[in-house]
């Protein structure tokens, strides 16, 4: 077992255990892109489920749980399937939603706001839930997107181990690319179970992050209009 202070080698970089703990406790992200290995998708989903099931069974065994109990014997498989097919399905680019654009024939040139989009994610430091609401706005440059696709983009990037700041920026950048416009705004208001159920055990606080681009970044009036729509500014 590595002792406190021993340097750990991660992706060829030496990082002390104390630094790794500090990053996790402070909920710090280290990159804009989700950290993935180059060979992340060479293994098919069925094999991933099989291997995760094996390792999770070992975790439960180490914890002292009786895996012959009827209530627990199926848990390793359920957890493995949930990880691959559900809560972390956003890791796989094949699950990325196609964002079909439509011509803005009705010439709607004001901002479109979709608010209170429910999302569920997981903290990448402790693998416990992050959940909350996303609010999205954009101003068309001649094309529009189906409303459900905005929800699907939010869900896609949420379904991976995340840091909220990164999640907010990934959604904002994806909407800019999908819509072909710089005029995009995203606000996310979330509760972190790594704050409420462990550590400091604060059950009341939420975390708000924002992404402003184009007119929303330059024009305070546009930004304030968006905030009024989602009831964050009176």
Domains delineated in the chain: 41-87 (1.10.286.10), 102-229 (3.30.1130.10)
Active-site amino acid positions? 123-126, 164, 192, 194
What is the reported pLDDT for 11?
Answer: 45
What is the reported pLDDT for 193?
Answer: 86
pLDDT digits (tens, 9 = 90+) for 40-91: 999 999 999 999 999 999 999 999 999 999 999 999 999 999 999 999 999 9
What is the reported pLDDT for 208?
Answer: 95
- Residues with Cβ within 8 Å of residue 110, at least 6 apart in sequence: 139
Q: Is residue 4 pLDDT above 50, yes or no?
A: no
Q: Is residue 1 pLDDT above 50, yes or no?
A: no
What residues form DSSP beta bridges with 144?
102
Over residues 14-40, the mean pLDDT reads 71
CB 71 within 8 A of CB 114: no
What residues form DSSP beta bridges with 190?
132, 207
Per-residue b or e along 85-100, where b marks 16 or more CB atoms closer than 10 Å to that residue's CB: eebbbbbbeeeebebe
What is the reported pLDDT for 7?
Answer: 42
pLDDT digits (tens, 9 = 90+) for 92-147: 999 999 988 888 888 788 899 999 999 999 999 999 999 999 999 999 999 899 99
d(CA 174, CA 167): 11
pLDDT digits (tens, 9 = 90+) for 187-233: 999 999 887 677 667 777 899 999 999 999 999 999 999 999 998 66
d(CA 1, CA 58): 18
What residues form DSSP beta bridges with 7?
16
What is the reported pLDDT for 5?
Answer: 43
């Amino acid at each position: 077992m590595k002792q406190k202070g021993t340097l750990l080698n991660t992706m060829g970089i030496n990082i002390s255990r104390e630094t790794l703990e500090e990053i996790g406790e402070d909920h710090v992200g280290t990159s804009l892109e989700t950290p993935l290995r180059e060979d992340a998708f060479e293994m098919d989903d069925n094999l991933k489920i099989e291997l995760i099931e094996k390792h999770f069974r070992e975790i439960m065994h180490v914890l002292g749980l009786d895996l012959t109990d009827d209530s627990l014997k199926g848990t390793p498989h359920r957890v493995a399937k949930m990880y691959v097919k559900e809560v972390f399905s956003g890791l796989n680019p094949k699950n990325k939603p196609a964002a079909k654009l439509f011509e803005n024939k009705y010439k709607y040139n004001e901002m479109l706001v979709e608010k209170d989009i429910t999302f569920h994610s997981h903290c990448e430091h402790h693998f416990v839930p992050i959940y909350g609401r996303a609010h999205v706005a954009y101003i068309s440059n001649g094309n529009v997107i189906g409303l459900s696709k905005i929800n699907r983009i939010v869900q896609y990037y949420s379904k991976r181990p995340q840091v909220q700041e990164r999640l907010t920026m990934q959604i904002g950048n994806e909407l800019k690319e999908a819509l072909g416009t710089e005029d995009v705004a995203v606000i996310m208001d979330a509760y972190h179970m790594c704050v409420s159920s462990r550590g400091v055990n604060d059950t009341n606080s939420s975390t708000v992050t924002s992404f402003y681009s184009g007119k929303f970044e330059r024009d305070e009036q546009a930004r304030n209009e968006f905030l009024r729509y989602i009831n964050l500014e009176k």
